[in-house]
A and B are shown apart, each in its own frame.
Chain A
Amino acid sequence: MGGKITCTLGEVKNRADFMIYWGGNPAECHPRHFTKYTLTQKGRFVPQGRKGRTMVLVDIRETPSAKAADLFLQIRPGKDFEMATALRAIVKGHPVDAARVEETGLTVAQLQDLADRMKRAKFGVIFFGMGLSMTRGKHMNSGAILTLAAEMNAFTKFVCMPMRGHGNVTGADVVLRYTTGYPFGVSLSRGFPRFNPGEFSTIDLLVRGDTDAALILGADPGATMPQPAIDHLSRIPTIVLDPKVTHTSRLARVHITTAPTGISAPGTVYRMDEVPLPLRPALASPFPTDEDVIRRIRLAVAAKPAWEPPAHVTMAIA
């Protein structure tokens, strides 16, 4: 059933002699990724740095990242899942349909060559970007890449890492996991954590109009989410905690200005590889931190007579 085979970025820096960037444009979106962690750095076991590494870029268009690559594979939009799955078969020496492979924009020969290079690697890594995880197929595109990397370990050392979005996405994921057991799409409405992406994930809830209030923290959905979701946010009482005015704060019923985390508020940010980094406030802020505000809201809510803890679970609901 595959799984997730990954590592911290230092492992890549010190060991990776082969890397695939898939569905991302690191040169522009994660500029320091190349220089700090992966490509150009001299590593403990890759003393020649860039010369010691092979980089493959898989993307739908020739971005500036392509220049940095030793091999650029241009794939037709929306064909990542097909390509990754065909590659899984080819890596194992199982048959694929040449004509249907070519619908991905690549030939069997190209995939065979890639498979051979991957097997020759001493330490291989695949980074995949949102060009993969946010296009048609979503989590299954990611799943295909993760499974490919896992299965490669039957031949050589191989790991895989998603290039997460901006902000502390990983941090939210990490904290939700240890407090609720699930990374995202969690509902606490029945008094205990439940997980069901698509049912409880934010965009889906808003698009279906399943919520009658919203508290927005460290995000600006008003700028990024689909219009129906934004429309619902403006229909319901929406509360925004944000140091600055945002698209969301403009449509919100309430905007509480908070101290900018990392600048005026301490905390922890998690790198895409889940390495925690402490944030030390540099400047004082007249505004409360997000944490202060949330604590005070919770206390106020708990003090309300109407607040009652949920009764017993009538059934274990998935």
Chain B
Amino acid sequence: MLRITGGKVYDPANGVDGVIQDICIDQGRIVASAEGGRTIDARGMLVFPGGVDVHTHVAGGALNFARGLVPENQRAARKFLHGKDRRAGLGGMTPTTFATGYLYAGMGWTTVNEAAVPVLTAKHTHEELHDTPIVDKSCLLLMANNEMVLDLLEAGEIERARHVVAWLIWAAKVYGVKAVNPGGVAAWKWGKNASALHETFEGYQSLTPAKIIAGLAQIVDELQLPHPLHLHCNNLGVPGNVATTVETMQVLEGRRAHLAHLQFHAYGGDGWSNMHSEAAAVADAFNRHTNLTCDAGAVLFGDAVTITADGPWQHLLYQLTGRKWGNLDVENETGCGIVPYVYKDRSLVNAVQWAVGLELMLLITDPWRVFLTTDHPNGGCFWRYPEIVQLLMDVEFRKEQVRRLPEAAQQRIVLGDLDRQYSLFEIAIITSAGPARALGLSNKGHLGIGADADIAIYPEQPDPDGFLFSYPRYVLKDGEIVVEEGEVIGGSEGREFIVRPQFDAGIEAYIRPLFQQIYTISFDNYPVALERLRHPEQVTLPSKPA
């Protein structure tokens, strides 16, 4: 039993906007009343539902590959000393698993969605997620370059494709479907890319990126997965990709979808020399497509490590930066590229990227459809979210930053003209209520009766050395106090949300021989056994596919 009294509560899902009211907790859930137990005096504090990160990369083969590639970043990273109930770790660009949990909780975030899991190495992703303490986790399966699926889409066998996807989702024990640069990664296996939505790509005769997108969106809808197709559009980071992005929205009409890190897909121009913001055009199209949600993928100046299944983009970035480059292609399914990167405010391109992320969040009118992310660690580290919150809430602070940009850069953006300021209520939407709703996690992102007691309590006056959200006074996870007086004091391991979509039991008979032909491990080792997940929580789906 626990009570939080006297705090200003922001709970958009239940229409509560800064009302001073008590919150009672019992058995890890929010309840109407609780007698006895501890009371947290939250007077002069802001009470928010715990943050929900809809798109991040915190676990899995790709990220772990990156860790090994950048010891210099780890060395400079924030250190977590081991203690009786806290594990040692490193923060930084690619935090270790334990540090990841501490850093999210230390900021008031309690649920994260790992956005890129190959089936073949899902086992490993779950190992890392298990060692990521405190926060609850879900993850998304990489499908848009899975050759078993692509072959079926090429053959027009959409129904069988749906069964295969459903089988793979359950085999990998994941929560949803991710599409990265549809077709492009498969083409990259030949050193090529797929940059035109309606043209075929290396290795396929009739299939196009557009057909993959439409097919997967249809499948995800038919399976009635709680989270829509999670799409990383083609031509990420390429000047002039605004056309592809708007075209993609048209392809998705009539379907649910989430567009990931939209910032990387809202550029004009036809080269680096004249690259500029097209946030206005993208936001305009997005505002009209109410079937879509998105996350910002905002960029912050400073160090980053770019990690994406988008192999071709990473090779380009490597050639541009001349820095380290890692690439890991996963047989028949996906790939990933890794390039350490520094976003410099003196660089025109980086300045435009920095502005576009904020412009999108300010120009997209419905906060329930745009969420706060940096596509960690691609645009910046998740532990810098409070900086972005500040930029959204304080127009003067924001314009001051804009004025520091090179004159030429200010000509290529519209951020300087935007006066919108986010309210705390809206911040609660884009950091928690919105992403929780988009993920279909009904017990997350709000403080109503029955919700998981994941709560972040911030001082009304931020600490001088930090931003409003930098140092929560208290963070509760499932009703357990995990941050007290700003110090992370350990905590439980956190759950993993998974779904079991329906598939024809016979589908395995179709997959097995195919698998044995093109894979190199035994078919029985392919699925992740349920008992390998320490704290799975199966989210139930409607009984029959629509």
**Is chain B in direct contact with chain A in the complex (CB below 8 A)?**
yes
Point out residues on A near B: beta carbons under 8 Å: 1-11, 13-15, 36-37, 44-45, 122-123, 150, 153-154, 156-157, 159, 173-175, 177-183, 188, 190-195, 268, 270-271, 274-278, 302, 309-310, 312-313, 316, 318
In contact, A181 and B80 (Cβ under 8 angstroms): no
Report the bound CA distance from A173 to B322 in whole Å: 27
Which residue, of A159, A188, A193, A316, has the highest number of chain B Cβ atoms within 10 A?
A193
User: B204 at the A/B interface (Cβ < 8 Å)?
Assistant: no
Q: Given the complex, which residues of B lie within 8 Å of A5, measured CB to CB?
A: 325-327
Report the bound CA distance from A307 to B84 in whole Å: 9
Known contacts A10-B520, A191-B82, A309-B83; A4 and B69 CB within 8 A of each other: yes
In contact, A268 and B123 (Cβ under 8 angstroms): yes
> Interface SS of chain B: helix, strand, loop or mixed?
mixed
In contact, A191 and B326 (Cβ under 8 angstroms): no
Q: Given the complex, which residues of A lie within 8 Å of B397, measured CB to CB?
A: none
Report the bound CA distance from A36 to B521 in whole Å: 10
In contact, A44 and B517 (Cβ under 8 angstroms): yes
Report the bound CA distance from A275 to B203 in whole Å: 25
User: B542 at the A/B interface (Cβ < 8 Å)?
Assistant: no
13 inter-chain pairs at a CB distance below 8 angstroms, sorted by A residue, are: A7-B329, A157-B190, A177-B64, A177-B68, A178-B127, A181-B77, A181-B89, A182-B74, A195-B71, A274-B61, A276-B123, A278-B532, A316-B76
Report the bound CA distance from A11 to B517 in whole Å: 12
Closest to B529 in A: A278
Given A8-B329, A10-B331; 7 other pairs, CB 8 A cutoff? A1-B324, A8-B331, A177-B68, A181-B77, A275-B520, A277-B525, A313-B79
Q: Given the complex, which residues of B lie within 8 Å of A36, measured CB to CB?
A: 520
Instruction: Determine how close the nearest CB of chain B comes to the CB of A276; give it in whole angstroms.
Output: 4
Which residue, of A44, A159, A180, A188, has the highest number of chain B Cβ atoms within 10 A?
A180
User: B399 at the A/B interface (Cβ < 8 Å)?
Assistant: no
User: B216 at the A/B interface (Cβ < 8 Å)?
Assistant: no
Closest to B59 in A: A178
Q: Given the complex, which residues of A lie within 8 Å of B330, measured CB to CB?
A: 7-8, 11
Point out residues on B near A: beta carbons under 8 Å: 59, 61, 64-65, 67-69, 71, 74-77, 79-84, 87-90, 92, 94-98, 120-121, 123-124, 127-128, 131, 147, 189-191, 203, 315, 318-319, 322-332, 335, 338, 517-521, 525, 529, 532
Instruction: Determine how close the nearest CB of chain B comes to the CB of A151; give it in whole angstroms.
Output: 10
Report the bound CA distance from A4 to B88 in whole Å: 27
Q: Given the complex, which residues of A lie within 8 Å of B332, measured CB to CB?
A: 10, 14, 44
Q: Given the complex, which residues of B lie within 8 Å of A274, measured CB to CB?
A: 61, 65, 121, 124, 328
Report the bound CA distance from A130 to B353 in whole Å: 44
Known contacts A157-B191, A159-B327, A192-B90; A179 and B98 CB within 8 A of each other: yes
Which residue, of B88, B203, B525, has the highest number of chain A Cβ atoms within 10 A?
B88
Closest to B100 in A: A178
In contact, A276 and B331 (Cβ under 8 angstroms): no
In contact, B520 and A9 (Cβ under 8 angstroms): yes
Q: Given the complex, which residues of A lie within 8 Å of B76, measured CB to CB?
A: 316
